[in-house]
């Protein structure tokens, strides 16, 4: 679960300022291990103080997801439908193929979507492929 929490935090641009603050206060710390706990305390203190910087989404990110994930067969993200391969096997039209940019410029990774996990936060849900 720690990896999921870190992945979601690391890919949430609204907390970049808090990541910068943590790095300036703790330059020798392991960001991945220590930031989530620090961020939870920081936002918790803002929440207690009724600080307007503590938005519902920031509070949800700080609290983290429910401890269990739900495995789902399909979802729509930004208007695009994603379907796991096992659901497509016996269908005439298939939609489980995905592509993602590789590490090198112009390189693409192609594959089949094997699993979709949905994590519920208090304000929103996050899906990870």
Reported as a single tens digit per residue, the pLDDT across 34-59 is 999 999 999 999 999 999 999 999 99
Q: What is the pLDDT of residue 86?
A: 86
Q: Which residue has the tokens 């304000």?
A: 123
Average pLDDT, rounded, for the chain: 91
- Residue 64's nearest CA partner among 121, 15, 18 is 121
How confident is the model at residue 31, as a pLDDT?
A: 94
- pLDDT recorded at residue 39: 97
* Predicted pLDDT of residue 90: 77
CA distance 97 to 42: 41
Q: Which residues pair with 76 in a beta bridge?
A: 81
Please check the confidence at residue 69 and state whether its pLDDT lies above 80: yes
Q: What is the mean pLDDT of residues 75-84?
A: 88
Kindly state the average pLDDT of the residues 52-72.
Answer: 94
Residue 94 has pLDDT above 80, yes or no: no
pTM: 0.81
| Chain centroid offset of residue 120 CA | 11
């Amino acid at each position: 679960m720690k990896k999921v929490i870190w992945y979601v935090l690391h890919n949430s641009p609204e907390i970049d300022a808090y990541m910068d603050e943590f790095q300036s206060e703790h330059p020798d710390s392991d960001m991945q291990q220590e930031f989530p706990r620090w961020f939870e305390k920081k936002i918790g203190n803002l929440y207690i103080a009724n600080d307007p910087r503590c938005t519902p989404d920031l509070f949800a990110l700080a609290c983290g997801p429910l401890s269990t994930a739900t495995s789902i067969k399909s979802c729509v993200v930004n208007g695009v439908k994603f379907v796991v391969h096992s659901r497509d096997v016996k269908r005439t039209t298939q939609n489980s193929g995905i592509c993602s940019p590789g590490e090198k410029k112009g390189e693409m990774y192609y594959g089949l979507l094997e699993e979709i996990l949905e994590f519920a936060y208090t304000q929103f849900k996050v899906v990870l492929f």
